[in-house]
């Protein structure tokens, strides 16, 4: 089965589920899960500050002993320096980095491999012999009863994850345990400078946010807290809370209005506003942005996205039965069978996404639809949004290729998300051709 994202409909599930330890998936089934819900990956726009390789090379040759080449959960680092995958030999699965075979595993925690922002390191959570541990840079970490997702600090120097052992929950930071609680709920989060780490914890049936040496709320507890988010400058903390049957958002200690349900906090780029989903009385969710409310347009699919100037708030909405659309400042766009990879231009003037309808996939840029293919994925733009690139699929030949304007790369067995060179004259991308895993380079000007 190919790493195909569309036209399969999006799974109507939030990107993260902070109330419980994440789903556990046999190694051979990781790709199936990713095809249905998508996978966290590098930004859909050109990667600022990342030193991407534009030298074409073979990063790995898959040994003949490994089977099921299309079900390897392969991932390329965003800088093009390395590739990791799960190699399967009979009923045994192994993590492989380049040409080096690492630990044998039984189960991989979704979404599989996670790279540090600079691409130099990778991590994943796995199970082997009924014990959970994090594999960091192909080395096995300490074992626990349960382990959450590994999270890198922005500079890649720290790795944090939640763990449980002996009936107690705690967070590990570079293999050093934080204080123990009755439970740690969900994954920790770093501030952008890596100096601040926040997470949800539970003690004596009450829940709170751990923020370094502080706990929020500073006095007393709430029945439930979840989804801590730090502002882009790291100075503000927001989280959802429930008390006395009502839910609300707390921003730097200030309680917002009460609702029946709230979920999914996002800060504006300047940190002055928060947006989140809320529901009151009826079944339909609506959007709260600062002190404004936008009428409901159905359900929410995945995250809320602010434009860089903060003037637009967009998200992917859904409506029964399986119709998806983009909502901008409360106004819904055209309906499709699937929508994903929503991006907003740096000048905040354009919105683009990939979509599918009637069995074919295409890119929507503003109000214009691009060429039709069997499916599309991996949408990226160059820094000033004068060029667009993505992966397209050919079901008849069972191949994938890169599309850049009216140019096409040659076809490969599989292709991964491309990235533009700083001068927009080249595209680099990962590709599998038979047993070889390539970092390919395509001249486009």
Of the candidates 262, 335, 318, the one whose C-alpha atom is nearest the C-alpha of residue 293 is 262
Other CB atoms within 10 Å distance of the CB of residue 244: 8
Lowest mean pLDDT among 11-15, 97-101, 109-113, 271-275: 11-15
Phi, psi of 196 (to 5 degrees): -125, 135
Residue 45 has pLDDT above 80, yes or no: no
DSSP of 12-57: SS-S--TTSPPPEEEGGGHHHHHHHH----S-SB--TT-------E
Rounded CA-CA distance 275/266 in Å is: 5
The distance from CA 175 to its chain's CA centroid, rounded to whole angstroms, is 24
Q: Which two tokens mark 186?
A: 């969900």
Task: Please report, for the chain, the start and end positions of each structural domain, with discontinuous segments joined by +.
Answer: 376-445
Residue 42 has pLDDT above 80, yes or no: no
Please write the tens of the pLDDT for every residue from 304-346: 999 999 999 999 988 888 899 999 998 999 999 999 999 999 8
Comparing 43-47, 201-205, 364-368, 405-409, which segment has the lowest mean pLDDT?
43-47
Distance CA 139, CA 201 (A): 28
Nearest to 172 by CA among 148, 191, 154, 137: 148
pLDDT of residue 19: 34
- Going by C-alpha positions, the residue among 323, 438, 398, 364 that lies closest to residue 56 is 438
- Look up the pTM and report it: 0.85
3-class DSSP assignment, residue 212: coil
43: number of Cβ within 10 Å: 15
Tell whether the model's pLDDT for residue 22 goes beyond 70. no
Per-residue confidence band for 2, with pLDDT thresholds at 50, 70 and 90: very low
Q: Looking at the predicted structure, is the pLDDT value of residue 302 above 90?
A: no
Extract the tokens encoding 302: 């995945």
Whether the CB-CB separation of 156 and 117 falls below 8 Å is answered with yes
Across 177-195, average pLDDT = 94
* Predicted confidence band of residue 11 (pLDDT cuts 50, 70, 90): very low
DSSP class of 69: G
Question: Which of 90-104, 191-205, 281-295, 349-363 has the weakest average pLDDT?
Answer: 281-295
Which pLDDT score is estimated for 68?
Answer: 74
Residue, of 358 and 220, whose pLDDT is higher? 358
Q: Is the peptide bond before 111 cis (omega within 30 degrees of 0)?
A: yes
> Alpha carbon of 313 to those of 50, 279, 327, 350, 381: distances in Å?
27, 18, 8, 12, 20
* pLDDT tens by residue, 142-159: 999 999 999 999 999 999
pLDDT band, very low/low/confident/very high, at 31 (cuts 50, 70, 90): very low
Q: For CA atoms 345, 76, 171, 148, give the dihedral sign.
A: positive
- Whether residue 209 contacts residue 237, with contact meaning beta carbons closer than 8 Å, is answered with yes
pLDDT at 230 over 50: yes
**Strand 274-279 relative to strand 261-267, pairing:** antiparallel
Q: What is the pLDDT of residue 48?
A: 52
Q: How confident is the model at residue 420 (pLDDT cuts 50, 70, 90)?
A: very high
Q: How many CB atoms lie within 10 A of CB 41?
A: 17
């Amino acid at each position: 089965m190919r790493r195909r994202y569309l036209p399969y409909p999006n799974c109507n599930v939030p990107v993260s589920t902070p109330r419980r330890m994440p789903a556990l998936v046999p190694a051979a089934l990781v790709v199936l899960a990713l095809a249905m819900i998508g996978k966290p990956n590098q930004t859909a726009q050109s990667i600022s500050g990342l030193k991407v390789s534009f030298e074409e090379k073979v990063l790995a040759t898959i040994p003949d002993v490994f089977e099921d080449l299309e079900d390897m959960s392969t991932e390329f680092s965003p800088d093009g320096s390395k590739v990791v995958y799960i190699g399967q030999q009979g009923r045994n699965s192994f993590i492989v980095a380049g040409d080096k075979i690492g630990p044998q595993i039984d189960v991989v925690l979704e979404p599989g491999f996670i790279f540090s922002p600079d691409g130099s390191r990778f991590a994943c959570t796995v199970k082997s012999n009924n014990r959970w541990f994090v594999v960091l840079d192909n080395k096995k970490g300490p074992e626990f009863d349960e382990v959450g997702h590994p999270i890198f600090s922005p500079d890649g120097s720290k790795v944090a994850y939640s763990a449980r052992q002996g009936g107690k929950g705690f967070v590990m930071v570079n293999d050093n345990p934080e204080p123990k609680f009755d439970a740690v709920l969900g994954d920790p989060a770093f501030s952008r400078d890596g100096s601040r780490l926040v997470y949800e914890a539970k003690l004596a049936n009450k829940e709170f946010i751990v923020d370094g040496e502080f706990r929020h709320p500073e006095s007393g507890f709430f029945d439930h807290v979840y989804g801590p988010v730090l502002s882009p400058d790291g100075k503000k903390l927001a989280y959802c809370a429930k008390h006395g049957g009502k839910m609300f958002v707390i921003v730097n200690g200030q309680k917002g209005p009460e609702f029946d349900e709230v979920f999914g906090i996002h800060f504006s780029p300047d940190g002055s506003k928060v947006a989140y989903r809320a529901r009151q009385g009826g079944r339909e969710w609506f959007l709260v942005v600062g002190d404004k409310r936008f009428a409901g347009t159905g359900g929410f699919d995945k995250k809320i996205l602010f434009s860089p100037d903060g003037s637009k708030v967009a998200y992917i909405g859904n409506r029964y039965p399986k119709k998806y659309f983009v909502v901008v400042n409360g106004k819904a766009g055209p309906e499709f069978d699937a929508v994903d990879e929503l991006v907003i231009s740096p000048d905040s003037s354009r919105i683009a996404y990939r979509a599918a309808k009637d069995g074919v996939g295409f890119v929507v840029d503003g109000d214009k639809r691009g060429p039709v293919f069997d499916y599309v994925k991996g949408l990226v733009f160059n820094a000033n949004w004068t060029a667009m690139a993505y992966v397209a699929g050919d079901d008849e030949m069972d191949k994938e290729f890169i599309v850049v304007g009216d140019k096409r790369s040659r076809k490969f067995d599989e292709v991964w998300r491309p990235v533009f060179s700083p001068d927009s004259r080249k595209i680099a991308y990962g590709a599998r051709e038979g047993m070889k895993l390539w970092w390919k380079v395509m001249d486009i000007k």
